[in-house]
Chains A and B, each alone.
Chain A
């Protein structure tokens, strides 16, 4: 935070960099940012809740972002979202209880030609249908298992 100058216009970049490091914005973090910039905490809270990108609860290890842009929606993005919700047993905006996955929607990632798209840990996955959801989850499961055996 210290690398930013104490200017109101730096609020959003500061929030972005704090969220990048902590994964989310806790109330402690928000109060500290407000103190640093010399603005009321409510102003920070207003900005945080206004923008979709900021989150107030801790993320999971893997982030799942289901694109619901026009093309994705028309090609069944909502079906994909349903499949994720069912498989992970959470609603979008939530994190699984084992903190493995967090599920959210995104307005459009600009990969409309590959619809429906899901961004899994920064990597856009093309044409994600319910069966591919299962496949992706299986891949995570396998990876975890192989890591487990390596450690033991």
Chain B
């Protein structure tokens, strides 16, 4: 087959897809797109979808309703994009079934664009501010997330019509060495956390003898607090697949595996559909696009083990064993799955490949900092206004990400720390906010890039408690192979547990530091090596909180349940209000003779419900720490 045939085959596919796409977007009919990724579904997007469909049927209008992925504006879910011919496409936020009905009646049938529900317009216009006009747009640069939320992830034509698989076509006509040298030149580093050069990894694998070679896409995004890979697999699975195909062609892999966490059922479903469609269109299997290149991809569901994100553990899991890491070297590109050369790449690394080859290595190398090229995708969550997915060039500072893109901390609270990199990362305080984000600067500060989970903490979050939380997680997820990791994390957890319960001693802090060092040195894989990071960073930046817990038995953030007590201020409590009494799940609150509410401390389980229930104009329920501050009351 000549290269002309490959191009011809692809152009046929593309032509078909474009016709279908045009039929959808520029046929003169209005189009509704509803974001139904997992985050949208949690907010009720499926009900909204249903409401749109019913309302349209009721009025008998012709208007396709398309399910799309996640746009990244998760704080405003459920989102719906309504495009009406002649008007700019408008994105609506917090849509519910009632709003959906109104949009159909008043905007699609009528002429009122219902401005009160608008989040922004999709393209610049004279009427409504567009997303490009948002202040955050000047900090963001969307490469990976470009298609997310704008195409139907279950329809390959949408991806094809938006330039999809054209880079694969181009690549199949290039010598594999040329592709690898392009990727190396672009400076792309693995997005799984460690940041190894992707091009170098491929080259090692290509130059190693042994057949067949394997390519594994690592979608075992186990970090609690991170959901970038989930979103990409749910919203744009074909981009990952195209990256896999190019990578496989470059390293000479015959078989590929897509390893996805079992906790992501929707990502699994969308990827399964994508694989089926790609097979159907001869983009997978034998003689891809009529060339001599053969490649098959198997979808493998993980079974809920954090350690399987580590490449050798992942390989063990694929082979049908318990996911335990092994010694490296030899690294997987030399000795991997079934002892054959194997490349394991993160979802985002692979999704970058088509973009790099399409726009050139220099284009990519010009984005970012000297050592870290390209953009970084972060999942912004926790105590921040605009939670969601963001993509910024490397070198953007943490302050810009949290305060400009994320719009700062809600409810007028004070920023305290940002947790980056999940259980392997660390908590960085206000003083580190001006750090530019790249692989090396974060490591120096004691955190790490990790896969990109970013959880913002405010003054109500206890730093000892968060260290304890992560230790509990790593302790549970430790596979138990290395003694230091297995027992060391347990000891550290015990100590932290004691501190949060008010039983800590000052010597404990030294023991913690010593143990942290030992666990780091005595563990094989990244899980153990980085497990102490949350403790080390909190001890480094928030030592005073540890001391308050130990010496005063006080939790400064009023979070550790054994060190706080709930109290109702008698002078603020309103006689006629019974909000807290009704909500208390254990009936610990009663009214005294003056109709002032009192908490029975023996019954109270400190669930926080009464504090939330107390109307804001009274704000009578407060937390006290240490509990000895409680005024003595007569029963």
Residues of A within 8 A of B (CB): 7-13, 15-16, 46-47, 50-54, 68-76, 79, 82-83, 86-87, 106-115, 117, 122-126, 129-131, 134
Contacts and interface: CB of A to CB of B under 8 A. Distances in A.
Contact of A114 (B43, B225, B323): B43
Contacts of A107: 222, 224, 263, 304, 306, 473, 477
Interface of B: 38-39, 41-44, 74-75, 77, 221-227, 230-231, 262-265, 300-306, 317-323, 379-383, 387-388, 419, 422, 453, 455, 457, 461, 466, 469-470, 473, 477, 479, 583, 585-586, 605, 607-609, 612-613
Contacts of A15: 303
A113 B389 CA distance: 9
B608 A79 contact: yes
Contacts of A72: 224
B303 A51 contact: yes
A49 to B, nearest CB: 8
A129 B585 CA distance: 11
A70 B455 contact: yes
A130 B585 contact: yes
A52 B303 contact: yes
B42 A117 contact: yes
Contacts of A112: 225-227, 379, 381-382, 387, 453, 455
Nearest to B387: A113
Given A11-B320, A74-B461, A130-B607, A115 B381 contact: yes
Most A Cβ at <10 Å: residue of B302, B322, B422:
B322
Given A47-B322, A130-B583, 9 more contacts: A8-B320, A15-B303, A16-B262, A50-B479, A108-B224, A113-B75, A113-B77, A114-B74, A126-B43
Contact of A46 (B322, B470, B605): B322
A113 B301 contact: no
Task: Name the residue in B226, B264, B607 with the highest tally of chain A Cβ atoms < 10 Å from its Cβ.
Answer: B607
Contacts of B41: 123-124
Q: Which 10 residue pairs across A and B have the least CB separation, nearest first?
A: A110-B227, A70-B225, A69-B224, A112-B381, A51-B303, A52-B304, A113-B74, A113-B387, A108-B224, A53-B304
15 contacts: A9-B318, A13-B301, A16-B301, A53-B304, A54-B303, A70-B382, A107-B304, A107-B473, A108-B227, A109-B264, A111-B39, A112-B453, A113-B380, A126-B44, A129-B612
A72 B453 CA distance: 13
Contacts of A122: 265
B519 to A, nearest CB: 20
Contacts of A131: 583, 609, 613
Nearest to A86: B585
- Give the one of A76, A108, A131 with max B CB within 10 A: A108
A73 B422 CA distance: 13
Contact of A52 (B301, B305, B379): B305
B605 A74 contact: no
B223 A12 contact: no
Contacts of B263: 106-110
Contacts of B453: 70, 112
A13 B319 CA distance: 11
A16 B75 contact: no
Contacts of B231: 110
Nearest to A8: B320
A129 B379 contact: no
B304 A114 contact: no
Given A70-B225, A74-B466, A113 B320 contact: no
Which of A8, A12, A46, A106 has the most B CB atoms < 10 Å from its CB? A12
B383 A74 contact: yes
B306 A8 contact: no
A68 B470 CA distance: 11
Nearest to B379: A112
Most B-side CB within 10 Å, residue of A12, A113, A122: A113
A130 B609 contact: yes
Nearest to A122: B265
Nearest to B223: A108
A114 B39 contact: yes
A78 to B, nearest CB: 9
A113 B304 contact: no
B374 to A, nearest CB: 23
Nearest to B460: A74
Contacts of B419: 70
A68 B476 CA distance: 13
Nearest to B230: A110
Contacts of A51: 302-305, 322-323
A104 to B, nearest CB: 10
Contacts of A123: 41
A87 B419 CA distance: 33
B422 A126 contact: no
A134 to B, nearest CB: 8
Contacts of B457: 74
B342 to A, nearest CB: 14
Given A112-B381, A124-B38, A130-B609, A71 B225 contact: yes
A47 B322 CA distance: 5
Contacts of B388: 113
Given A46-B322, A71-B381, A111 B227 contact: yes
Contacts of A124: 38, 41-42
B320 A10 contact: yes
Contacts of B585: 83, 86-87, 130, 134
Nearest to B301: A16
A115 B612 CA distance: 16
Contacts of A11: 320
Contacts of A73: 224, 466, 469
Nearest to B231: A110
A135 to B, nearest CB: 12
B455 A110 contact: no
A123 B303 CA distance: 19
A76 B561 CA distance: 11
Contacts of B77: 113-114
Contacts of B224: 68-73, 107-108
B301 to A, nearest CB: 6
Nearest to A115: B381
Contacts of B609: 129-131
Q: Which of A10, A51, A75 has the most chain B CB within a 10 Å cutoff?
A: A51
A75 B383 CA distance: 8
Contact of B382 (A9, A68, A71): A71
Contacts of B583: 130-131
Contact of A83 (B304, B455, B607): B607
Nearest to A75: B382
A114 B321 contact: no
Contacts of B379: 112
Contacts of A111: 38-39, 42, 227
Contact of A47 (B39, B75, B227, B321): B321
Contacts of B605: 82, 86
A4 to B, nearest CB: 11
A52 B302 CA distance: 10
